[in-house]
A and B are shown apart, each in its own frame.
Chain A
Amino acid sequence: MARKVFVRVTASFDTDGRITPLSLVWEDGRLYTIDRITDVRKAASLKAGGMGLRYTVIINGKQSYLFYEGPKWFVEGK
C-alpha cells in the first residue's frame, strides 16, 4: 500500500487550458525536473486512494505517476 504524498508542482498552462507539469518538489524539499510526459489520462489511484488526471512522467530516467486531483497534485509514495 502506498502513501498519498501531496507535492508542490510547477506547471505551464497553454492557451487551450492544457496543463503540463514541469517540475515537482518532494516532501523533503528536493526539486525534480520532469523530463518527459508519456501519457495523460483520467485514472484512479488504487494504491494511494484518489482520482483525477494521471500524468505518466519520466524523472531521471524513471517512470512514475503524477496525479492532478484538482486543485492538488499527488504521487504514490512508498
Chain B
Amino acid sequence: MERVILHSDLNNFYASVECLYNPSLRGKPIAVSGNPETRHGIVLAKNYAAKACGVATGNPLWLAKQKCPDIIFVPPHYELYIKYSETAREIYSEYTDQVEPYGLDECWLDVTGSSALFGDGPTIADKLRERVKSELGVTVSVGVSYNKIFAKLGSDIKKPDATTVIKRTRFKEIVWPLPVNDLLYVGKSTHKKLLNYKIKTIGDLARSDKHFMKYLLGQNGVMLWMFANGLDTSPVSNIGAKSLIKSIGNSTTSPRDLITDEDIKIILYVLCECVSSRMREYNFICSTVQIGIRDNELHSYERQGRLSYPNRTSKSLFNKAFELYKQHATGKPVRSLSVRACGLFLSEHEQLSFLPEISQIQRQEDLERTVDIIRSRFGHYSVGRGIMLTDKELSNINPKDEHIIHPDIFLRR
C-alpha cells in the first residue's frame, strides 16, 4: 500500500504569532528580531509584507531597515511559540500517532493508516489547515505525497494556507523543475559542487548517474539521488519516540568581543556549566569536547579533543575547552563561542575506582550535582563561580533556561 505522508509547515511562524497577538501590526511589514544591544541583532522571522521588500531571515537589522524603511522590529516570545507548536502537534496527533517534528514549526505526519477514518491525504490536509486557522489563528501550508522529501517540497510550493499534492504519477512535472537547493540537505557547499557540474534543478540531479553522485558527494550523494527520484523510504517516527541524542552543546554570541583569556574563560565556564548540567539531566557522560569559535570577522571554525577520562563535570569540560582554545586561537577578537559534548554514552554502570583521577572526578561530580540542586531551588544566579563576578555583562547569561530549542534530527545515522 502506498504511504500517505503530510508535511505541515506553519507559515512565517514567529511573525504570524506576533501579528496575532498584536493586531495593530497586521498588514504592516514586521520582523521578529534579536536584541541589537546584546549583538543578537538579526532578523529571525518576517511576514509577507517584509518579505516583499526583500528582507530575509538572518539579515542584520540595519540591512532590513535599508531594504524596508517602514519595517517594525518586535522581540521574540519563545514561550508563546513553544505553546503554539505544542498545540499544533496536539491537533496533528488527533489524526495519527506518527507525528515527527522538524523544528518548532514543521511536522511530518504519516496518515496511511487513518485514511479510512478521516479521508484521503488531501482531505486530512484541508482539515488540518481549517483547524489550525480557527483554533490557533495562524496558517499552515501542507504538502501531501508518498514520501517525506516530496511532502516537504510540497509544503513549500504554495503558501500561505494551501495544500499541494505531489502524486507518484506526476512528481516529475512538479518536482524536477525546482532548483536543486530546494531539496533537503542540499546546503551551500553541496549546491556549489553540484553547480560545477551544471546540476541546477532537482531533475538534473535525478537524471545524473548514481555512481557519479557517489563519487562526487559520497554516501550523501546517493541519498540525494534517491531523494530526487522519489525513492526516499525513511519512516515518520512515532510521537513518543525520543530522538537519539548524539551530542549536547550550547553556544552564545557575547554582548561584546572577547579579547583577553579572562573574557574567554567566563564564557567557556558559562557554556560548560550548562552543557554539564544538561548531561546530568539526561544521564550522559562524554568522551570528547568540541569548541566552535567565530571571530569578529565572522570567520568560524571548530576543534575537538578527547578527555583523558570520560566524564561530565564542567571542570573537565572547561579545562579541555580552554586547552583547545589556547591551541587553536588565531589572536583575533572572538564574537561567539560554542561548547559541545560528543561521544555520549549513558552513565548507568559506573565503575567505582581507587584511581586518584577518577575519585577526584567523582568528588567534582558530587559538588556540581549539588550546585544543580541549589540552582533548581533558588534560581540560576543563586550560586556561581567567582570569575563570573569580574564581568557581569559577560556572565549574565543562562543558556540552559533561557532557551534551548531541540530540532529533531531527520537523519539518525
Contact = CB atoms under 8 A, between A and B. Distances in A.
Q: Which range contains the number of B residues in contact with the other chain?
A: 10 to 19
A45 to B, nearest CB: 7
B53 interface: no
Contacts of A45: 137
A44 B137 contact: yes
A37 B23 CA distance: 27
Contacts of B136: 44, 51
Interface string A39-59: 001111111111100000000
Interface in A28-78: 41-51
A77 to B, nearest CB: 12
B234 to A, nearest CB: 32
B387 interface: no
A43 B135 CA distance: 4
Contacts of A51: 20, 84, 87, 135-137
B24 A46 contact: no
A30 B136 CA distance: 31
B134 interface: yes
Contacts of B138: 44
Interface in B80-129: 84, 87
A7 to B, nearest CB: 18
Contact of B21 (A2, A43, A49): A49
Interface residues of A, number: 13
Contacts of B84: 51
Nearest to B83: A51
B169 interface: no
Contact of B23 (A41, A42, A43, A49): A49
Contacts of A41: 135
A2 B22 CA distance: 11
Nearest to B134: A43
A48 B23 contact: yes
Contacts of A49: 20-23
Nearest to A41: B135
Contact of A42 (B20, B21, B135): B135
A77 B227 CA distance: 52
A42 B134 CA distance: 8
A51 B21 CA distance: 9
B381 to A, nearest CB: 26
Nearest to B25: A49
A69 B18 CA distance: 16
B136 to A, nearest CB: 5
Q: Among A1, A42, A49, which residue has the most Cβ atoms of chain B within 10 A?
A: A49
B23 A1 contact: yes
A44 B23 contact: no
Q: Among B21, B23, B136, B138, which residue has the most Cβ atoms of chain A within 10 A?
A: B23
Interface in B254-286: none
Contacts of B87: 42, 51
A1 B87 CA distance: 25
Contacts of B21: 49-50
B207 to A, nearest CB: 46
Contacts of B137: 43-46, 51
Contacts of A1: 23-24
Contacts of A46: 20, 23, 137
Q: Among B21, B22, B136, B138, which residue has the most Cβ atoms of chain A within 10 A?
A: B21
| Smallest CB-CB A-B distances: 6 pairs | A44-B137, A42-B135, A49-B21, A49-B23, A1-B23, A44-B136
Interface of A: 1-2, 41-51
Given A1-B24, A42-B87, 17 more contacts: A2-B23, A41-B135, A42-B135, A44-B134, A44-B135, A44-B136, A44-B137, A45-B137, A46-B20, A46-B23, A46-B137, A47-B23, A49-B20, A49-B21, A50-B20, A51-B20, A51-B87
27 contacts: A1-B23, A1-B24, A2-B23, A41-B135, A42-B87, A42-B135, A43-B134, A43-B137, A44-B134, A44-B135, A44-B136, A44-B137, A46-B20, A46-B23, A47-B23, A48-B23, A49-B20, A49-B21, A49-B22, A50-B20, A50-B21, A51-B20, A51-B84, A51-B87, A51-B135, A51-B136, A51-B137
